[in-house]
Structure 1
Amino acid sequence: MSKHIPAASLAAYTAGDPALDDTAVWTIEVHLENCGDCRARLAAAAPPALTTLLDDVQVMIDRGVRTGPEPVRRRAWRHFAHRWAMWELVPWLATIAVAVAAAFFLDRTFPQRPSLVLLLAPIAPLAGMAVAWSRRRDPGWEIVAGTARAGLELMLRRTTVILAVVLPPLALAGWRLGMSPALWLLPALTFTAATLLLGGRIGVVRAAAILGGAWFLAVVTPAVITADIPVLIEPASAPGWAVAALAGTVLAVWRAGDYRHANPR
């Protein structure tokens, strides 16, 4: 093409002449991107109706830019909830609460067998924690993970919500069964801290699966089969759980940087 678009070609392009093939249209449009003179000729050749329409659209756009849309008012409780939790946690937390209730009724029905509430307490928060920092479960994970406060701080927020939901049913069940709070609270905190610590290295989902599976296979299954009370849930084990919970919490905070590179899956 010469320095400028020929008048006939420009007129055909303006009128939308079907005789122009794709190559010709592409050549004209590329030239228009870099030639102000031809763009001015194109504007002058436009039909009056089209010019009027474009002017009206420009006025509407300018008016919209100046006024802008009204800001969406968000309720305070929704803002708080989005910072601390996500809706995908609700069914998992409900399932945990139902499991604790079922364990309580089984303990009341079969008091001679090892307490299922105590056996369930250490791993009760783990299912919720696995969902709380999961790429597959959280639809907004990419956005959340890219924020400045993502990592251990976000995980601690969501873990706090999980514990706030899981611990009250355990406390109620333990109180009704006459158990010491240390027997169910300390193991739950220990496994929570261990999941946070290990999750920074291999991912929270894998950490929860490994710790929960190990406890279920090594402690819960033998206790259910043999009806013997495991040493790990007897009153004498409380000091050991306290030390483990404190050590796990300190180490998880110390290794907070692992969550900047942790695999969430």
Structure 2
Amino acid sequence: MSEHPTSGSIARYASGDELPADVLWAVEAHLETCQTCRLRLADAAPPQVTALTAAVWAEMAPTGAPVRRRHRLVRWATPALAPWLAMTAFVVLAAVALDGVLPTSSAVLLIAPIVPVLGVAVAWSRGVDPAHELVVSTPRAGLQLVLRRTFAVLVVVLPALLVGGWLTGASPAYWLLPCLGVTATALALGGVIGLRRAAITAASAWVLLVIGPAVVVGGVPGVLAPGAAPVWAAVLVGGAAAVFFRSAAYARL
């Protein structure tokens, strides 16, 4: 349509009246390129449409600095992560309370490697994040967002474990590398089966193969002995390399 639509066509289009297919197509095509007619369309809109549009814009409009601060926070963590972090603190406190009760050197030492993994599962879970579909459709979704949220989990979890280890005498030299190694392994596996499944798999394997035998037999498991540090360093490097070389897979999680 080279000329502007008639006032009648604009009014009928604004009110939602049925128009002939050729007229409807011509009006919509013209509105895409003509600012003047878009202003005419806005003036011709019925009062109920104008009120609805104003209400939607009012809901979407920014309200100031608190929104910006929340936006920055959401870049690193989900609102659903808050209750999990509170539960993490409770788990660490429970492990400190159980120290000396179980026939192991330290309950904190046993649980430390899988606590961050559970946080990673929550940080990237469709079921607990109401904005999951919007988040994963953003340009920065994928590996960058996965690493950001993993970092947010570690920032909270590692200090809590350090305090718990200090109270129970569990040196970070025993659990820090296993902690990072198990997390890297879960992230690498997450590129294949999904982060939530990978985290649950890694945590379940740790409970069955390490915590269970340690509770039954007692003592420090061999995988947490100082001599296992080179192995865990290799696991950490291998997991990080797998995540790096399969970075494109995280955009499809």
Give TM class, smaller chain: 0.7 to 0.9
- 1:122 offset after TM fit, Å? 0.9
Normalised TM-score (structure 2): 0.74
Equivalent residue number for residue 9 of structure 1: none
Equivalent residue number for residue 192 of structure 1: 183
Distance 1:261 1:228 in 2: 42
Equivalent residue number for residue 149 of structure 1: 140
Q: Which amino acid aligns with 1:255?
A: R
Equivalent residue number for residue 74 of structure 2: 82
- 1:102 offset after TM fit, Å? 1.1
For residues 33-71 of structure 1, give each alpha carbon's deviation from its aligned partner in whole angstroms, at most 9, with x where no partner exists.
8789xxxxxxxxxxxxxxxxx98967x95xx99xx8664
Distance 1:235 1:31 in 2: 78
- 1:166 offset after TM fit, Å? 0.6
- Give secondary structure in 2 for the equivalent of 1:91: helix
Greater CA radius of gyration, 1 or 2? 1
The 5-angstrom pairing of residues 152-167 of structure 1 reads 152-167=143-158
1:176 aligns with 2:167: yes
Does the 8 A contact of 2:113 with 2:180 survive in 1?
Answer: yes
CA distance 1:88–1:33, change in 2 (3 Å): same
Q: Please, what is the CA RMSD of the aligned residues?
A: 2.9
- 1:182 offset after TM fit, Å? 2.4
- Give secondary structure in 2 for the equivalent of 1:124: helix
Normalised TM-score (structure 1): 0.71
1:119 aligns with 2:110: yes
Does the 8 A contact of 2:117 with 2:203 survive in 1?
Answer: yes
Structure 2 residue runs without a partner (length 5+) = 1-16, 25-42
Does the 8 A contact of 2:214 with 2:220 survive in 1?
Answer: yes
Equivalent residue number for residue 95 of structure 2: 103
The 5-angstrom pairing of residues 1-265 of structure 1 reads 30=18, 71-75=62-66, 76-107=68-99, 109-110=100-101, 113-262=104-253
Structure 1 residue runs without a partner (length 5+) = 1-28, 37-53
Distance 1:56 1:256 in 2: 48
Does the 8 A contact of 1:151 with 1:259 survive in 2?
Answer: yes
CA distance 1:72–1:186, change in 2 (3 Å): same
Distance 1:218 1:260 in 2: 32
- 1:96 offset after TM fit, Å? 1.5
